[in-house]
Amino acid sequence: MRTLVTGGAGFVGAHLVRALLDAGHTVAVLDDLSAGRAERVPAGVPLYQIPLEDRTAVDRVVAEARPQAVFHLAAQVDVQTALRDPLQDLAVNVTGTVNLLEACRKHGVERVIYASSAAVYGAPAALPLAEEAPCRPLSPYGASKLAAEGYLWAYGQSLGLTTTILRYANVYGPGQEARAEGGVVASFAARIVQGQPPRIFGSGHQTRDFIYVTDVARANLAALEGPGGLFNVGTGQEASIRELARLFLEEAGLAHLEPVFEAARPGEIERSALDPRRAQAQLGWTPQVDLREGVARTLAWARAGSPMEADALCRLAGGRPR
Ligand SMILES: NC(=O)c1ccc[n+]([C@@H]2O[C@H](COP(=O)([O-])OP(=O)(O)OC[C@H]3O[C@@H](n4cnc5c(N)ncnc54)[C@H](O)[C@@H]3O)[C@@H](O)[C@H]2O)c1
């Protein structure tokens, strides 16, 4: 199938592009490289370096690439940036998304698969969060991801596209830079390879649902075949930041070290986990890489010098499935 991946030069996008190529699909990438890297895009894959906000350029790319399916991952992903400048976040994540959807409608794209986030839920009343849980985002980033979801629904209901919304938990793995959303794993890996203990903000008892990046890529491929709709992409398991630090220290052979603690950062939720059962039932998708294995692979990548080049990334992200 002919596919277009927006954000394909980014962390998750790079792994998705590789998975699509491996499955025999044709891929083009749209990315303005504001946070992405051209070297993450494999040789031979066309890279259109344009911003989502440029409606005419987005239209031209879709007309030229003629994708049957579009994976929409490009986004302003930084929560702090969104807090500082909600209008910029809105322009990329909402207007940019509608620019893309319009081009898709005009040029006969059949299916759009959108990368949404656990951030749309806000503070959970009960865990793990099912898709029906109320959405009360805590940040403008969560609000813009949720607003974009609304447009996906509308285009799915009334404007002729088949749309799928995938709400990712905290994605981690080779290729992630410490600044990105969910970057605690990347930050631990970067410190450990320098022989420094993980740095924990707050008590470390806060929990997250860590999902390995190749599992997220697989969920996107499953969505290509499955029915449209809304699906959590997580493990359903909570892991505390202390537990994560312990795994890193054990895998690195540094179990004698203790993490260092710093003041909690404001605005962080205490606990999070996404219930993946709907994706299991309707897309036939389950996560395959557990946290210890994912940490080991991420550490191996960091030890190899944190390469960003597409082939190295892909090789280091692989390994034994659980
Ligand atoms: N990493 C996570 O833990 C996580 C969790 C939940 C949801 N997500 C979602 O997954 C998607 C991918 O996230 P990621 O972690 O790979 O982030 P990333 O920053 O590595 O990738 C985003 C890509 O989008 C590109 N981009 C940004 N603004 C753009 C614009 N205006 N026009 C064109 N391209 C633009 C960037 O250059 C980058 O390559 C995002 O939509 C994000 O909201 C990520």
Query: 301 in a domain, yes or no?
Result: no
- pLDDT at position 319, please? 56
Query: 155 in a domain, yes or no?
Result: yes
Query: 257 in a domain, yes or no?
Result: no
Query: 203 in a domain, yes or no?
Result: no
**Active site residue ranges:** 141
Per the structure, the count of domains in the chain is 1
Angle ∠(322,174,273) on CA atoms, nearest 5: 60
Query: 157 in a domain, yes or no?
Result: yes
Q: pLDDT tens across 211-231, in order?
A: 999 999 999 999 999 999 999
- Residue of 181, 213, 306 best suited for mutating to test ligand 1, as the one with most atoms within 8 Å of CB: 181
Question: Domain containing 147 — which CATH number?
Answer: 3.40.50.720
List, in order, residues 6 or more apart from 104 with CB less than 8 Å away: 62, 70, 112, 155, 161
Above 50 in pLDDT, residue 274? yes
Query: 228 in a domain, yes or no?
Result: yes
Query: 127 in a domain, yes or no?
Result: yes
Query: 267 in a domain, yes or no?
Result: no
Taking the C-alpha atoms of residue 111 and residue 102, their distance in angstroms, rounded to an integer, is 13
**At 316, which amino acid appears?**
L
- Judge contact between 61 and 36, C-beta under 8 A: no
Above 80 in pLDDT, residue 311? yes
101 lines ligand 1 (CB under 6 A): no
What's the domain range around 145?
A: 2-169+211-235+276-286
* Ligand 1 centroid from CA 258, angstroms: 32
Q: pLDDT tens across 80-126, in order?
A: 899 999 999 999 999 999 999 999 999 999 999 999 999 999 999 89
Q: pLDDT tens across 11-69, in order?
A: 999 999 999 999 999 999 999 999 999 999 999 999 999 999 999 999 999 999 999 99
* Lowest mean pLDDT, pick from 244-248, 297-301, 311-315: 311-315
